[in-house]
Every structure is written in C-alpha cells, then in structure tokens.
Amino acid sequence: MVSISPSVLAQLEGQVIELPSWAFGNSGTRFKVFGTPGTPRTIQEKISDAAQVHQVTGLSPKVALHIPWDKVEDYSALREFAGDKGLALGTVNSNTFQDDAYKFGSLTHLDPKVRQMAIDHHFDCIDIMHATGSADLKIWLADGTNYPGQGDIRGRQDRLAESLAAIYARLGENQRLVLEYKFFEPAFYHTDVPDWGTSYAQVAALGDKAMVCLDTGHHAPGTNIEFIVAQLLRLGKLGSFDFNSRFYADDDLIVGAADPFQLFRILYEVIRGGGYGPDSTVAFMLDQCHNVEEKIPGQIRSVLNVQEMTARALSVDRTALTAAQEAGDVLGANGIMMDAFYSDVRTDLAAWRESRGLPADPMKAFAASGYQAKIAADRVGGTQAGWGA
Amino acid sequence: MVSISPSVLAQLEGQVIELPSWAFGNSGTRFKVFGTPGTPRTIQEKISDAAQVHQVTGLSPKVALHIPWDKVEDYSALREFAGDKGLALGTVNSNTFQDDAYKFGSLTHLDPKVRQMAIDHHFDCIDIMHATGSADLKIWLADGTNYPGQGDIRGRQDRLAESLAAIYARLGENQRLVLEYKFFEPAFYHTDVPDWGTSYAQVAALGDKAMVCLDTGHHAPGTNIEFIVAQLLRLGKLGSFDFNSRFYADDDLIVGAADPFQLFRILYEVIRGGGYGPDSTVAFMLDQCHNVEEKIPGQIRSVLNVQEMTARALSVDRTALTAAQEAGDVLGANGIMMDAFYSDVRTDLAAWRESRGLPADPMKAFAASGYQAKIAADRVGGTQAGWGA
Amino acid sequence: MVSISPSVLAQLEGQVIELPSWAFGNSGTRFKVFGTPGTPRTIQEKISDAAQVHQVTGLSPKVALHIPWDKVEDYSALREFAGDKGLALGTVNSNTFQDDAYKFGSLTHLDPKVRQMAIDHHFDCIDIMHATGSADLKIWLADGTNYPGQGDIRGRQDRLAESLAAIYARLGENQRLVLEYKFFEPAFYHTDVPDWGTSYAQVAALGDKAMVCLDTGHHAPGTNIEFIVAQLLRLGKLGSFDFNSRFYADDDLIVGAADPFQLFRILYEVIRGGGYGPDSTVAFMLDQCHNVEEKIPGQIRSVLNVQEMTARALSVDRTALTAAQEAGDVLGANGIMMDAFYSDVRTDLAAWRESRGLPADPMKAFAASGYQAKIAADRVGGTQAGWGA
Amino acid sequence: MVSISPSVLAQLEGQVIELPSWAFGNSGTRFKVFGTPGTPRTIQEKISDAAQVHQVTGLSPKVALHIPWDKVEDYSALREFAGDKGLALGTVNSNTFQDDAYKFGSLTHLDPKVRQMAIDHHFDCIDIMHATGSADLKIWLADGTNYPGQGDIRGRQDRLAESLAAIYARLGENQRLVLEYKFFEPAFYHTDVPDWGTSYAQVAALGDKAMVCLDTGHHAPGTNIEFIVAQLLRLGKLGSFDFNSRFYADDDLIVGAADPFQLFRILYEVIRGGGYGPDSTVAFMLDQCHNVEEKIPGQIRSVLNVQEMTARALSVDRTALTAAQEAGDVLGANGIMMDAFYSDVRTDLAAWRESRGLPADPMKAFAASGYQAKIAADRVGGTQAGWGA
C-alpha cells in the first residue's frame, strides 16, 4: 500500500542495534538449559557469531560484554579481534548475582565488605571499558529479598545510593552508568530497583552521566511502556534499551514476537521524544534468551524486527496526527497510527538493503551461508558458553 | 499471646484517619448504583454520618470534601457545622472528570481554554480551603486516552507541568498540593499520571509544598506498595494515603479486606520510614466505595482495620529484626514480622478504647445506637448523594 | 507484498459480525458517561444506525438486542422494521444486574423468589426470541460478591446450575443458550462464572444446546485466549464471541485496537479448529463501548478490523507451517505466522469490496454520507439511550 | 481472645501434609542456585531430613519422590528405610522436562517415538509406585511453546489426551493420576495444561481415577483460587494440592508467606466443600523452593503454617455465617470470617502439641537439636542434590 519514503529510508541509515554476547551462548529456565551444536565456547566465538548478524543486516556493529562471562586476559586484543570482524565492543554488563557472597545482596548488602567487593567489581568493569573503548557500564542488580522482614527495604536503598555514588565517581569523562530496573526475579518479595521511578531517583542523584536502562520485559502486567519512554526522554534520563519481548514475566523472547504493536508504540515515542537518530544518545540493545530457537538466526530476526518497526514508526504522518488530535478526532488519530503500523515495509526494505550491498533476505542469506553447519562441525569439545562464570 | 505494650498504646493516641464525605453517599460500578434508605442528600448529612464514625472510634476527627459534590454557599458555616459535630474539614478534592469539557483532558488538554477552566477550578478549591481551614488540595486526574494516537503523551505531560505550576503558585503558606497517581481507569490506553514515578517527577519540579498521594488501589497487579512507601518517605515526598483495598483493579473495597498482610507491611514501612506519629506530615485518609455494604458501619470497620493493623505494625520487635537481618537469618527475620502480624490485638484495643471512654466494640455500639433506623426514617425525599455534581 | 488469494477471498464471502444495539447508545465508566449529538433514543434508531454499518461494509446483517433496554410492545413489528433496513435481529441478551432485587445475586441468589424472578426474565427473553427469530440467548451474569464470607461460593454454584437448567428446559428446538464468563467486575471478590472452565462445566451439564460465550476482554492479565478458543472448539462448546479489546481490564475498546496480533492469533485458532465458515455455528459478535469515539464509525472500524484480520489468518500457509513444526524449525514456523500477520491486506480488500458494490473505503463513505449530521440535527429531545432500563 | 474449641482440635488430629523430597535439595532461579552446608546428596539423606520435620510437628508422615531425581536400585528397601524413620513414601512425581528429547514436548510431542518415551517413563513411575506403596502419580508437564506457530495448540491437546489415556490404562486398582496445570513457565507462549479447565477436561475424559492437582502458585495474577477449589470439589475432581506461595509468578515460597489470608480462604473452601478430614481423598502436599532460607526449618515453618491456618478455617462459625448471608448482612458475614482469621491460635496449638508429646515450639526444638550442625559436618563431599537427574 504505502511505500517507505526516501526521508524515512535516510533516517534508517546508521541505525545501530547492539548485540549481547550471551545471546549466542546457551540459556534456559530453572528447569532446563538445552545445548545445541555449534554453541560458542569463548567470547571470540561469540563475536564471530555476532559478526554474522551484522554481515547480513548491517544493523549490529557492536557487541556487548558480560563480565565475568566474557573475561579475557587482554581486552585490547579482544577489541582488535572484534575490529577485524567489523565490530566494536559495546556496553559492559556487570554481574553481582552469581557469587555466593551476594546471596543477600551486593551493592545493597548490609556487610560493607560485600558491598566493597561489588563496587570493586564495577571498578574492574570500568577498567575493562577503558581497554575496550566501551562507553556504557550497565548495572542490573539481582538484589532483593524473598520474604517480608528478610531485609530492610529502606536501608538497602540508602546503601544502594552510596555504592552507586562510589562507582559513578570512578567513571571516565566519556563513560556513562546505566541503571536497569526490574519488577521481580530472581527476588520474589522485593527487588531493590523494581521500577523506573527508583532507577530515575537513583541516577538523578548521581549526575549527568547516570541514566536509566529500560528493559522491555521488566514491568508489571499491563504497564504502558511507551509512556515510560516518553517520560524518561522528557526528563533527559533515558540511557538505553534492552529489547526483548514477553507474554508473562521476563520471558526474554525475540523483540517484537509477543506484541509487535507494543514495539511500534515504543519506537514511536522514542522518535517523538528525540530518542532516535544521530543527535540522540539513547542506545538500542538486545537482551534475549534463545532457549529453543537457533541463536544466530534469532538475533538476525530480532534486529530486523527492530528495523522494520522503526521504519513503520518513522512513517507515521505526524502532521496529520496532530491535526486529528487538535480536532478531537479519536478514530482519525488512531487510524493514522494504524496506517503506519499495518503498512508492509518488508519489500521496500529488502530492495533498500540490496541497494546497499546487503542481502535482500538476511535470514535466507545466513541459512545459505553454511556458517551454522561449519560451527556445528568445528566447535566440538570444550564447554559451551552459558550463564555461568 | 502477646499483649499490646504501653508504648505501642501511647503511639496509637492521636492517630487520625480522615473520612471521605463521598463514602456516605451512593456509589457503584458502570453497571449499577444501588441506593439505600438513609443515604445523605447533603454535605451536612454526610458530616453527621461521619460524626458517628468518630464518636464510636475516636479515630476520625476530619472529613474530606469533594468539589463540586459538596459545594455550599457558605464554607465558614459548614466548618462551624462540622465543628459542632466534633469534626474538622480536611482535604479538598478537586474534580475535573465530570464536565463535558474534559472529555479529552483537563490540566493536560490541548485547548488552553479548557486547561484554564481546570486551573480555575483548582483556584476555587484553594479559596474553599482558606474558608474551611483545609491544609491539602488533592488532585486526582482522570486525564488520559483510550486509543494510541488519540493524544500526544509527551505534550500532555508538558502541559500538565505547566498547569500544576499555575495551581502551585496559588497555594497559601500552609497549604499543600498532593498529586495522586493511578494505573488505569477511566482512561484505558494511557493515563497522564499512571505511577508514583510520574507523580514524584511532577511534584519534585514544583517545590516543597507539593507531595505524592498514594492510593493503595491504583497499582499494577503484583506491585510491591510498601516499597513505594519506603522510597517516597526516603525522598521526602509522601504526602498522603488514600486507603482502600482491591482484588483486581481499583475496587475501592474496605481497607484491609482483600489483603490484610499487605496493609500490615505498608504500615510497617510507614512507621519504619518516619511517616507515622506527631512529627510526620503524612495524612491518612480513606477512599472507598461501599457499593453493597452499609456505609457508616463500613467506615467504622475501615478505621478500626487501620488502627488494629497499626498496633500490629508498631509491635514489630525492630531490634530483634535488625539482629536477624544482620545474621542472615531469613526465617528468623520473617518470623519476627509474622509474630506481630498474627498477634490478636483486638481484646487489648477494646480494653484501651473503654479506658478512654469509647465503646469496646464500636460496630456493636453503632448498631445499638438506633442512628441507622432514624436516618432511614428521616431522610425521605430529595436526591440521595452520589458521584454526581 | 502478498496479495490475498482468491480462495481466501471466497472464504470471506458470507462473514457475519453481529452488532450490539447498545454500542450505538451512550456508555462510559463509573466516573462519567459522555453524551453526543445524534445518539439514538429508541431501538428503532439504534437499528437505523446499525444499518449504516452494514450498508458500507456488507459485514453486519444482524443486530443483537438487550432486554430490557430494547423492550418494545411488538417484536414482530421490530423484526419487520429491521428487515426493511436489511437487517435481522440476532442474539437476545438478558439483564439481571440493574434491578434492586439483584443486589446479592440473580440466578444464584439465596432467595428462591429472586431466583425465580431472574428465571422468569429469561423466559421472557425466550418468548422475545420466538418473535424476533433470534437463535441465541446470551447470559452474562453480574452475580458475585465483594467480600469473603458475603456469599457461599459453593452453594451459589449449585443454585446457578438449577436456575440454568430451568432456563435451558424452556429453549425452543433451534434455540441455544450461550453462557458468558467474566474474570471480575462488577463483583470484586468472586464472580459466579469467572472463567471458561466454569462456563464449560455448567453448559456441559445442560446439554447440546448450551454453549460457552467468549468475551475477549474477560480474562486475567496474560491469559492466552487463543488456547481457550482451541480448547473449546475441541470440546465442541464454543458458542459465540463477544469481540472487543483491552489494555487492562474489561475496557471494551474497539476489537483489534489494543493488541492486533492477539486478534490474529485468536482468529487463526478459530479457523484451525473449524470455528469459521458455513459449517460452523460459532457466532461472531461485537460487545464494545465507544466512550470517547464516534459510535457508528467505531462500529465500522471494528467490523473492518475483524474482516482484515480474518483475511490475514486465512492466509497463513498451513502446509508450510506444519512442515516447519515437524522439522522443529521454531523460527521458520513463527515466520510463517508473522508473514501472514504483516501482510497488508487493505488494498486487496478495498478492491474486492468495490467489486461487490461496496465502497472501497467504508469509513470515508460513511463520513461522506451526511448521515451523522442528519441524525445530530434530527434527534433532538428525548432521552439518549444508554445502559439503563 | 478465642481459644480453639475441642472439636476443632479433634479435627486437626490426623492432618497429613506430604513433604517433597526435593525441598531438601538445592534450588534457585535461572540466575543462580546457592548451595548450603548439610544439603543431602541422596534420597536417603533427604528422607532423614524429612523425618526431622515430622518428628517435631507430627504433621508430615509422608515424603513424595521425584523420578529420576530420587531413582534407586531397590524401592522396597527405600520404603523400609523411610519406614524406619517413621515415614511412608507418597506421591511419585514424573519428570519429562530435563531430557534433551523433550525440547519440543513430551506427552504432546509430534513424534510418536518421543511420546512413547514419555509414556514409558510414566509406566516406570507406576512400577515404582507399586514398590513404594504410593497411591498418586503426579504429572506436571513443562510442555508448551515459546512462539506463536511453533506448535499446533489443538493437535498437541489431542495428543495429550491419547498419551494420558495410555498412562491411565496402566494404573493399578488403588492408584490415581493427578494432573497439574500451570499458567506459564518454562514455556512462555502457551502451555499445554495452563488452567484448571484444561486439567479438568482432560481428567474427566479419563475416568474416576484421574483428578486435578492444584498448585497454589500456578495461576494468573488476581485469580480467585478458592473459587477453583470450591468448583473442583463440586465436580468431584480435586485430587491434591501443591502448597506454596507467591507474590508474582511461580515463586515457590513458603506456603502462607505471601498472602496468609488467601491460604485461609482456600482452606475454608476445602473444608466447606468436604475436602478435609478422614472421608476426603484430597491430598495435601508442599511444593516449594527454599532458595535463600534454611531448608529443614523452611519445611517445618510450612507445615505449621498449614496447620495453624486450618485451625483458623475450622473455627469459622458457619451457622452464624449462613445466618448473616441469609440476612444480606455483608459486613456481618465478612466479620465472621475475619474473626476466625484474626484469632491467634498459636498458644492453644502449642499446648495441644505438648499434650501429644510434641514440642510446643517445633522451630526452636529443631534448632536446639543440633541436627543441622551435624549434617553440615557429616555431609562433606559428593554432589549436593538439586534439580538435576
């Protein structure tokens, strides 16, 4: 029906969707983690897989690291390795949930020694960022409690503020701290950063280099996520996205898979609020678990979903929309949004992709490349990467 | 088992739970509003009913007004009328959801004339507050949209900030503005103040006299409300409570009826965070709908529920709790909370009530008073009060 | 990209989406019901409005009645009136929630006199059905309680079974009883038919002419509705749909507005399970509230949404899908579904519509017809229809 | 205030709450499983720990097994071992979620070979039941899909019915099959037995020896679980409970910890519906994860919670309740429920416990026993038991 306008295509140039290194390793639920032939054993193999995604989509020139899962001796060498594959190293994700010391908290722990241990881990991450050239330190905390009374909610919040201040003070000139929030899991009574309000209040107290990270799967049922996007952009505190999708909890499914219309509305508010394009510092990243589907194609599908939906969201006729809103024309205004959402941008994007030297159908191109068969044959022995140190 | 300690009883002295005038009128759902014999027709009759609640409980010396539902010619006379009944007039609640002009918003409306009309209504409320001696102006907004695209989420938020600033500037020396948030209803796609984060960000931008109002029924399923209490107290922005309870949405049932343990946890965090007692400015208020139960007994039951649960929450052995937390004794810490929760404070409270010249059993005392039969006989003709202007 | 195949177009022939008479009257929330110029005052005016929807879409040759809202002296005359407008009278909806007698229940009430009154009302509805030629008696119960202990859950269930049996026994040869379930509202502690399991258990005990009615807005957050569709079709008990959409609770928004992908999945399972087409007895109906949007266009938009999504769901390549499922190709199988969902069927449908003598753009055609202006001018005085007797 | 009546105490005699063997092993979330000193390495050590719970509470003479986690060579010997510790072996739980073959389903799998493998596993379980003297085979299925299209919902349901029929046919005279349902997890798009309705429809098709198992953590947010209890008892199909509690999803916390009032209401409906006492076949079982708290005390706390709440539920004055319901006295009826709930039964239960030769305070008695220190010292080396084969 509608074809994508040249101006929209121009805005799609330069879109970057960062890939998480751990999406290429195994993941699962508390019940079972399934392995698959070809799963990488090292961060180098993860980077090689990520390079495949970028090669067929042109959308993902960056890979995020998770420390300690991706620990290496020489981060400059790793940066070079990635560079040779056409990739930069992106966000560094800290981990304070897999050491026995953190059973009752990390940055919020009652014991100053444990807190310092967790702070030191973030100092290490910052050191790594200097070596890798990463700009963002992402903090997602598993801190929380399972039973009323187990911890002192208020005291933990105060200690969190202190710990974050210590980490913040260590940031380099061009480095940022992004603080993720999560409704629940792995803690089941309270989490120490459960909602955007808490993340916002904490980073606002830190300073300009501290921002909120919004993971699309970390909200209560029914939450209007695009409202949060609009609000955080308004407050100047939207730092980055962890994209994925969910039907129930933090399902970590492929972005756009569970509720494509929600993804459309989120991207519309990102654009509306100035969070998209060369002048924005909002980072787009995936954070997903390919428990039952193939991992590399899963990542390809994901970045394409974001690109296609960005094209739709950019196509909203905002002049007409404003006019309909001013006229109190509810159905007309809604219709303008739906027109963009229902437009099938795929043919135009395929042609545009080809015009830029990329395959029209990246999924098919990867399948035809033989890469999957090759790694399945090559990667024998060793320990498949997963969510373990 | 445990008897209430004298120190806890001392802290119960002076507890005030404000009653909403509208709780004595009819309410219901979109499907049906049931009337009952004796329902008040005027604000004076509502105040008379409220006086009954205070008379048997000693807990509710204040009645909140809702404008325009409780509009009168002479507010000084109303204040005197209430005074004669032993009551003060409390929070003034504005209403920007029942005029046809507000179909697409009030303080957030695109049309500056409608916004000014809504602002003017709040100016009127402030004038009334001067006459009634009320300290708090409570703003709950029905503003929002039903369909994506119907309104511009971001622009509405900016206009809300401007409108609130105009109202804030009009506040007297000792007056406060409390901004309520609500997850959904009557708007179904987005509400303009959906969560504590939004209310907090808006009131923080206004100044010290602007605070957040927490209605216990206005959250997403599964939300940890006591966390929000702890956080708002920490940020110095918890202004007041609208107490009620819910199983599903904003059911407006009797406080403590749906999840008594949640009420206990909320009150514990109030106390823990300094939100209770003579030095606190946090206002306790009910906001409920007695759709199928008797209204005056419904209010009596409600204030007793809050008092009983406050007694339990005050009884938590916080020294022992801290020790258990420091020892990492999860079950011990939780057990200390549960001990207080499971303590049956009712016998002790009955005796204490009697010692202060109040009936041991307020529910029975009211039933025996004959008041209900009297108003059923007297209040014939006229229009029963409800949620209408 | 994909154009609609002739076989799909053929299957779209004869699709019927019944309109609810009350969608043309005013509706709202407990906070406010907005009126609009041109709102019908009588069932005849509602039918006239419904005829407009059918005229521009060819999709809605039936109007459902709600008794007593649509009570008339002479139902044969009403049937004729509708026939003259090109419409048949459809489902008769009973109402046991607006009489004071039903405050504590209707078919479940403890008092046999109240139960009989409710049963008699259904007998009246059956009589009306004979006159109108309606096939389905739809029962949605507001029965339930607000507080634990208020009623005896188990006893109410037993009485419900008895009452339904009495009604069932009165059904004519070609009449059906469809029993709707609803998670909550207007009751807030328990509802007597809260889930499909209860409705199924009750209708299974009645016999072949009793079926389940699935209202898409009547489920707990996160419920997989298409699973219920598949299950009820498997059990031979899916009688009819009440289509609408929701973000939070029973929002009653335009079908497909809140989660278009969910509507797609629901229609896919309908088709997959044999619930679509000339051999199926599953009735498609709307049940919506146009609180803030225009009513006739709201209905036009709704039936078009169902038609467009049916076209997409019919377009799923089921042979390829089965092959992908058999191969364990998760992304491939999901991709086949998404291909159909993302196909823009609107151009093809517009052409097909024109080929059948209908306007290509029904929304525009209605706007251009001048009907709205005419009824706004004509329908002056009287009482606008709404949710009242 | 109220003391427990002799008749209630008499009804508490003989209460049995079965313990799950796996509650004594390690468990956690997908993020981390914490180990603790003294965790059992074998089923014998698990049984020894379970015996401690029964020793101090007199409530848990049965231990449930999970196959293959608790596989041994000689089940008669295991039965004898348990008998020596004063315990019987209870429900046998099958496991079809940890074999790579089950990635896309077990009893629902498209491949008949995989289905047969899963059926055979249940045959093995039945064989074990004969040796252990167990009456119930519990089936909880992880079967489901993560993405729309991944599987054929309808076909899977049909295959499930076939597989269950094969298993059912193998049951011995006095053996039962109980089918558990679960809203979500580990599958995130659809689960094959998501709700009580599905479990009911499936077991009703099997016959009298097939029943529903209700796990209190397996429902959508806001679900009224006691309604389901009442309904299943009414339909004669409530087989057993898996008790635990949750704030968000399937948190598997200690029963009664998250919402004690809900547990009260559930137990009230159990009693009301005839599901409690010597004439009932409803089995009470725990199914919990002690991720951060001590395991043996966690189980002691759990069975005490069930016992205390049963005492409260048995104490409801049902004659007065019925009278209040008949009088339409909403607050009176609710007050009768709350009176029982708020009664502090703990002192009376402690005395009663002592009168039966049990410790007044089982938690303290276990702590004083030195058992925990002993197993921490003894159980060195080996592999701590957890959720693995």
pLDDT tens digits for range B51-102: 999 999 999 999 999 999 999 999 999 999 999 999 999 999 999 999 999 9
Q: What pLDDT does residue D278 have? A: 94
Judge: B1–D344 Cβ closer than 8 Å, yes or no: yes
Give the residues of chain A that fall short of pLDDT 50. Answer: 1
Residue B3's pLDDT band, with cuts at 50, 70 and 90, is confident
- Judge: A230–B154 Cβ closer than 8 Å, yes or no: yes
DSSP 3-state of C23: helix
Q: How far is D385 from chain A (nearest CA, A)?
A: 14
- Angstroms from C14 CA to nearest CA on chain A: 24
Evaluate whether D214 touches D228 at the Cβ level (below 8 Å): yes
C-beta separation of B241 from B216 below 8 A:
yes
DSSP-assigned letters across all residues of A36-99 = -TT--SSHHHHHHHHHHHHHHHS---EEEEETTTT--S-HHHHHHHHHHTT-EEEEEEP--SSS
> Does ipTM surpass 0.90 in this model?
yes
Partners of C178 in the β-ladder: C138, C211
Per-residue DSSP letter, A178? E
Q: What does the mean pLDDT of chain D come to?
A: 97
Three-class secondary structure assignment of C126-161:
HHHHHHHCCCEEEECCCCEECCCCCCCHHHHHHHHH
- Contact state of A335 with C222 under an 8 Å Cβ cutoff: no
User: For position D3, what pLDDT does the model report?
Assistant: 82
Is the separation of the CB atoms in C175 and C137 below 8 Å?
yes
β C190-191/D176-180 pair status: unpaired
Least reliable range by pLDDT among B334-338, D200-204, D236-240, D379-383: D379-383
CA D249 to chain C, closest CA, distance in angstroms equals 11
pLDDT bracket for residue D2 (50, 70, 90) = low
C185, C209, D105 from C164: Cα distances, Å:
21, 12, 39
Chains interfacing with D (3 or more CB pairs < 8 Å): A, B, C
Mean pLDDT, residues D259-264:
98
At C388 the pLDDT is 74
**pLDDT-derived band of residue C2, with 50, 70 and 90 as boundaries?**
low
Q: Which residues, including other chains, have CB under 8 Å from residue B27's CB and lie 6 or more apart?
A: B33, B252, B289, B290, B291, B386, B387, C30
pLDDT at B1: 45
Bond before D186 cis per omega within 30 degrees = yes
pLDDT above 70 as % of chain C: 99
pLDDT tens string D122-160? 999 999 999 999 999 999 999 999 999 999 999 999 999
* Predicted local distance difference test score (pLDDT) of residue A1: 45
Helix pair angle (D75-84, D112-132), 10° resolution: 40
Distances from the Cα of A6 to the Cα of A10, A352, B352, angstroms? 6, 10, 78
pLDDT value of residue C319: 98
Which comes out higher in pLDDT, residue D3 or D89? D89
- Tell me which residues of chain A, numbers 316 to 345, contact chain B at a CB-CB cutoff of 8 Å: 321-322, 324-326, 328, 330-331, 333-338
Q: Which residues are CB-neighbours of B194 under 8 A, at least 6 positions away?
A: A224, A227, B144, B181, B182, B183, B184
Model-level pTM? 0.98
Say if the Cβ atoms of A292 and C247 lie within 8 Å. no
Q: Does C291 touch chain A (CB under 8 A)?
A: no
Higher pLDDT, C96 or D2: C96
Candidates C238, C176, C234, C195; CA nearest to C213 is C238
- Confidence category of residue D388, pLDDT binned at 50, 70, 90: confident
> CB–CB of D253 and A104 under 8 A?
no
**Would you say B167 and B204 are in contact if contact means Cβ atoms under 8 Å apart?**
no
Best CA proximity match to C262, nearest among C276, C245, C274, C277: C245
Chain B interface includes D20 (CB < 8 A): no
**Chain D partners within 8 Å of B344 (Cβ):** 1-2, 342-344
Angle at B94 between CA B93 and CA B96, to 5 degrees: 145
d(C-alpha A147, C-alpha A149), whole Å: 6
CA–CA distance, B217 with B266 (Å, rounded to integer): 13
pLDDT on residue C1? 45
Helices (H), chain A: 6-12, 43-57, 75-84, 112-132, 153-170, 196-206, 225-234, 260-272, 295-314, 318-326, 330-342, 346-355, 362-369, 371-378
Q: What is the mean pLDDT of residues B16-31?
A: 97
pLDDT in tens, D291-345: 999 999 999 999 999 999 999 999 999 999 999 999 999 999 999 999 999 999 9
The pair of structure tokens assigned to A305 is 């979903």
Q: Which of D110, D154, D221 sits opposite C221 (nearest CB)?
A: D221
Cβ neighbours for B114, distance < 8 A, ≥ 6 positions apart: B101, B102, B105, B106
Amino acid at D239: G
Which residues between 91 and 110 in chain C have a beta carbon less than 8 angstroms from any beta carbon of chain D? 103-104, 110
What's the pLDDT tens digit per position in C175-231?
Answer: 999 999 999 999 999 999 999 999 999 999 999 999 999 999 999 999 999 999 999
pLDDT band (50, 70, 90) for residue B2: low
Least CB–CB distance from D342: residue in B248, B259, B344: B344
- Which positions ≥6 away from C178 have C-beta within 8 Å? C91, C136, C137, C138, C139, C210, C211, C212, C213, C239, C240, C283
Express each pLDDT in C51-105 by its tens digit.
999 999 999 999 999 999 999 999 999 999 999 999 999 999 999 999 999 999 9
**What pLDDT does A2 receive?**
55
Q: At what angle do helices D260-272 and D330-342 cross, to 10 degrees?
A: 110
